[in-house]
Amino acid sequence: MRGTDLLARAASVAVTLVVVSIFTFLLLRVLPGDPALLILGAESPGDTLAEMRRELGTDRPLLVQYGAWVASVARGELGISIRHRQPVLDLIIERLPVTLSLSLLALLVALAIGLPLGVVAAARRGTVVDYGALAFSQLGQAIPPFWLGIMLILAFALKLRWLPTGGYEPWSDDPAEALRSLAMPSLALGVVLAAQIARMQRSSMLDVMGEDFVRTARAKGLPESRVVYWHTLRNALIPTVTVVGLQVGSVLGGAIIIEQIFALPGLGRLVLFAVVNRDWPLIQGLVFFLAALTVVLNLLVDLSYAWLDPRTRRA
Amino acid sequence: MTVVAEGRRLGRGAVASLVAVALVAVVALVGMVYTPHDPTAVEIGKRLKAPTVEHPFGTDQFGRDILSRLMRGASIAMTVAGLSVAISVSVGVAIGALAGYVGGWFDEGAMRAMDGLLAFPALLLAITVVAALGPGHRNAAIAIGIVGIPVFARLTRSVVLVLASREFVTAVEAQGAGPAYVLVRHILPNAMGPVIVQASLAVGRAIVAEASLSYLGLGTQPPLPSWGKMLQEAQGYLSLAPWMAVVPGVAVAVTVLAFNLLGDALRDLLDPRLR
Amino acid sequence: MISRLIAALAALLLGAAGATAADTPPAPRPGGAVTVAALANPDGLDPHRSPADSTFIITMNIFDGLVATNARGELLPGLAERWNISGDGLTYTFELRRGVTFHDGKPLTSADVKYSLARMAEKGKSPHAADYAIIARVETPSPTTVVITLSRPSARFLSDLAYGWAAIVPEGAGDELARKPIGTGPFRFVEWVPDSHVKLVKNARYFVPGRPYLDEVLFKVIPDETARVTALRAGEIDITERVPPQMVDELRANRSLRVETYPSNTLSELAINAARKPFDDIRVRRALFHAIDRAAVLEGANFGYGRLIGSFMAPIIGEYYVDLNGRYPHDLAKAKALLAEAGYPNGFETTLYLPQPYPDYSAAGEIIASQLARVGIRVRLETLEWGQWLERVYKQKDYALTAIGHYGRLDPITLLERFKTGYNANYFGYSNPEFDRLLNEGDVTHDRAKRRAIVRRLQELLSEDAACVFLVSRDAIVGFQRDVWGYAELPIPGNRLTDVYRASR
């Protein structure tokens, strides 16, 4: 039963990836701008350009180009960047740590703020704490992360001068500096998710509190704090995990603009570089990689339900 | 007890959100035809002036009046959001309704395509579409609209699937009504509640998306004022003219908050499933 | 030791005397390291394969050319100790410096020069191939002699050997150079972590005695201008180019920093497509010139840091430059009259493209659009990403107006060639037979006085024909830590840190 489930899930992931690859490819064929011109610069005469086009393969028919690309993806390659003249995969791997650090820290920030807030709000339902949490979750979802980023720069970098306005220090150089350079970006990126988590956690806690097993626990005379924080929390986490899973894409997407504001050399800046420079093998590879990453992370979230909810394990 | 109390609270929230949305709408409408100053007129001698009576929100790096730019920016934000949500809703509902009602290979194909679209991080997809179409607020609206299609397609499909097996539908079908008639007259009207709720939330998302694209230079083009573009320009003058960065951000946050609250209020009114 | 003492004393005395003390350079001393802001991740470190400034800012420290240049644009011996040009202007004989070695220890020979010249001229690979197509033959009669034969005489050829893209690389180096450059220059390449930094260390065997002063140079990639300024303030970087003009006063108030402005060999203009209606009418182009308040553009886009130009030449070019700023005073009535005469009494609608990567040119475009509205010309602005700009403006010449700028060249004829009829880079649709004839004359003559007269006349023609609305030669604004000295701005893309030193530490 579980085996076939997993197989079906994997098959649908595969189909999604094929659809993604077709979308990516078709979308980028419409891009105006001649890559050959960009590489050689504006001063190049026509015959030089034609030679470059032959070398890049942009003079071949569309289907042939798509076939070549899919074949290279199947080999675990993502093509060669026009501007960097390096394999796209190498470029992605170089910058992945920045984006992953940022996204994971943002997730941590979101959980660290959102979970306790949701739990406390549910436990103290109707009190000032609850209203405060509600206000936070509404505001957090309304404030654009990049504006929050700019305001953080204004406050902590320009006025107070506690943190750098931007730039990135690798973890390997100096972990403390790395953390300092990622503090504001991950806060700016994490607050939206924190707001969503707080809200979801609160409402699912309230739902679970009404269920039989919680009532049983209460009837058995377990202390209220234990009921709330143990019995309820674990079960109420499921919808929250779903929210986190659904937001994987928006965190990665948000990282693009946050990296731009804080000058972090991650995948987001690479995306913008590729778009501005019409580096289509790079855009194609990046878009496909990020979409695939989202799909795979979603799959992992699905699988984590089984661990969180014993009922689905039995089913 | 609590139920009553909560009911009253939501009522107040709904009224407040309606007032806020109306306010934004009025500013946007007025901004189309009237602003205190020309929002695009450059006057170098008056640049980077802190707020005064004449310029309540100060001036920008070209001496343009920020209040006027904010008002015209509201019109643009609402136009882009409206257009993009219209695209998402019309295409999404059509796909979802057909998929749910026709079923079979069409359903399968359409839903796989929607899965594909959903797999892209939203902003990344919007950036790629704008890169393909070229920057500008119309293309930004199209890009944001495309990104929003799967939400409405999936939502409509699920509602249609539930309704199609309901008694009143089978009864109408038994009377010999054609599928198109049944779908348009009997099923879709019942799906409108959840769609309207989602549309209100989608307006909020579209406003943030437009601001993001414009911040990145891919959305609204100068000299037209977009809130995102204003924020991007402000970043170069943060220590010299912080008001340039504060004002447009507050405008985005207030507008999005209003539409989110409206969406929540509508959900309580229209979408019984989530009560 | 004593010199340092004197410098310290001098600083002390001058410090007591007045505020200018900080601007008096102390005596140079060797040692120390500087961190320089790189505005973009370099586009590869192979000087023969990149069109981008981001490459030359680094590679000019690693490589030398046969010919070198200085802040005044003079041509000086580089790897070639001396040269001789034949009477017919076709044969150039270069004598190489003896005892020069590459960073990998191999001695420099004429074979390396021959290889490098071939690589610069490689079609389809070298962005500057067209400049070297004139080379007919390269011979190497001895390990230290290189003889270049041209297919026709050209007075500009020597200057073409002084740019960053005319670097001499070791024979057989190949495409490895992009990641691992090996040259003869003042600094040796250590590592490049893309999007982070490029590290160079002193070449102890550099052929100029006592240079470079610095032991180490780190180029740190910081594309965001706000982040660059903050990094300078925080002491994380020691030198940054392109300080945003609005930040100058604020930075100058900071006692640990110094901000210098240098006239630069750059030009910005409102490019007009004269091949397209209504701009084919000279009266319309002249009306644009009169309608635009160029002083406001200089103030608004550059905060006043720069000079107005009346034709396509920067004042820094010196003897060749002629000031034509008075030709078209800002005069709305005159502009309207010219428009009416041309049949547009109520103005017209048009489109102006803004190049996305250049905020100062885009700002100029926005200001101009607002100014043109006052004479009834309704301008639609459209921002183009760099790729699209190149495609539409440069390649297809499919545009009406665009605000843009260019790096100048060492040779005035090379610079003005852009306006030659049918020339590849002439995207202005400009064509004037007299201009073409004079340009060809100036290209072949080695007679300096005659050349000067021709170049001046060429500038006048461009101004009379209103080929563009010429705008500004901006100042290069560079920020330093207070103890960093010896920096100079070269009139070509890229820069060298050979003479830079730290006064303290």
Q: What is the 3-state secondary structure (H, E, C) of C72-138?
A: CCCEEECCEEEEEECCCCCEEEEEECCCCECCCCCECCHHHHHHHHHHHCCCCCCCCHHHHCCEEEE
Give per-residue pLDDT as tens, C447-465. 889 999 999 999 999 999 9
CB atoms A143 and B249 under 8 Å: yes
Q: What confidence tier does C430 reach under pLDDT thresholds 50, 70, 90?
A: very high
Q: What is the pLDDT of residue C344?
A: 96
Q: What confidence tier does C84 reach under pLDDT thresholds 50, 70, 90?
A: very high
- Contacts of residue A286 in chain C, CB cutoff 8 Å? none
Quick one: which of B222, B225, B183, B196 has its CA closest to B99?
B183
Between C318 and C305, where is the model more confident?
Answer: C305
Give per-residue pLDDT as tens, C261-279. 999 999 999 999 999 999 9
Give per-residue pLDDT as tens, C116-157. 999 999 988 888 888 899 999 999 999 999 999 999 999 899
The pLDDT of residue A312 is above 70: no
- Contacts of residue A153 in chain C, CB cutoff 8 Å? 226
**Mean pLDDT in chain A?**
81
Minimum Cα–Cα distance from C355: chain A residue: A276
CB atoms B236 and C296 under 8 Å: no
The pLDDT of residue A243 is above 80: no
The pLDDT of residue C324 is above 80: yes
**Quick check: helix, strand or coil at residue C24?**
coil
Between C424 and C305, where is the model more confident?
Answer: C305
CB atoms A291 and B119 under 8 Å: yes
> Cα–Cα distance between A271 and A278 in angstroms, integer?
10
Give per-residue pLDDT as tens, C331-342. 999 999 999 999
- Contacts of residue A8 in chain B, CB cutoff 8 Å? none
Which of C41, C130, C221 is nearest residue A45 as measured by Cβ atoms? C130
Which of C231, C385, C390 is nearest residue A42 as measured by Cβ atoms? C390
Q: Which residue has the tokens 């050979």?
A: C498
> Which of the residue ranges A31-35, A54-58, A174-178, C106-110 would you say has the lowest mean pLDDT?
A31-35
Which whole number is the average pLDDT over C388-403?
87
> Cα–Cα distance between A46 and C78 in angstroms, integer?
33
- Contacts of residue C388 in chain B, CB cutoff 8 Å? 134
CB atoms C51 and A45 under 8 Å: no
Which of A15, A32, A150 is nearest residue B235 as measured by Cβ atoms? A150
> Cα–Cα distance between A202 and A114 in angstroms, integer?
9
CB atoms B242 and A154 under 8 Å: yes
CB atoms C370 and B222 under 8 Å: no
- Contacts of residue C362 in chain B, CB cutoff 8 Å? 222
Q: What is the pLDDT of residue B128?
A: 87
Residues in chain B with pLDDT values less than 70: 1-11, 271-275
Q: What is the pLDDT of residue C34?
A: 96
The pLDDT of residue C65 is above 50: yes
CB atoms C226 and B235 under 8 Å: yes
Which whole number is the average pLDDT over A263-276?
85
Q: What confidence tier does C15 reach under pLDDT thresholds 50, 70, 90?
A: very low
Quick one: which of C141, C118, C121 has its CA closest to C131?
C121
**Mean pLDDT in chain C?**
90
CB atoms B222 and C359 under 8 Å: no
Enumerate chain C positions whose Cβ falls within 8 A of a Cβ in B: 225-226, 244, 246-247, 250, 296, 299-300, 354, 356, 359, 362-363, 366-367, 369-371, 381-383, 385, 388
Which whole number is the average pLDDT over C400-428?
92
Q: Residue A159: count other Cβ atoms within 10 Å of its Cβ.
A: 12
Q: What confidence tier does A37 reach under pLDDT thresholds 50, 70, 90?
A: low
The pLDDT of residue C2 is above 60: no
> Cα–Cα distance between B49 and C16 in angstroms, integer?
37
> Which of the residue ranges A134-148, C217-231, C285-299, C319-333 would you say has the lowest mean pLDDT?
C217-231
- Contacts of residue C194 in chain A, CB cutoff 8 Å? 84, 86, 91, 94
Q: Are A122 and A209 contacting, i.e. CB atoms less than 8 angstroms apart?
A: yes
Counting one residue from chain B and one from chain C, the pairs whose CB atoms sit within 8 A come to 53
Which of C124, C390, C424 is nearest residue A52 as measured by Cβ atoms? C124
> Which of the residue ranges A161-170, B134-143, C121-130, C225-234 would you say has the lowest mean pLDDT?
A161-170
CB atoms B44 and C244 under 8 Å: no
Write the CA distances from A32 to A277, A285, C357, C387, integer angstroms: 11, 18, 17, 8
The pLDDT of residue C468 is above 50: yes
Q: What is the pLDDT of residue A44?
A: 59
Q: What is the pLDDT of residue C8?
A: 47
- Contacts of residue B235 in chain A, CB cutoff 8 Å? 150, 153, 261
The pLDDT of residue A35 is above 70: no
Q: What confidence tier does A31 reach under pLDDT thresholds 50, 70, 90?
A: low
Strands C216-221 and C33-38: parallel
Q: What confidence tier does C389 reach under pLDDT thresholds 50, 70, 90?
A: confident
What ipTM was estimated for this complex? 0.87
Q: Which residue has the tokens 């059509």?
A: B94
**Listed ranges A80-89, A298-307, C124-133, C297-306; the one with the highest mean pLDDT:** C297-306
Between C68 and A284, where is the model more confident?
Answer: C68
Would you call B13 an interface residue with chain C, using a CB distance cutoff of 8 Å?
Answer: no
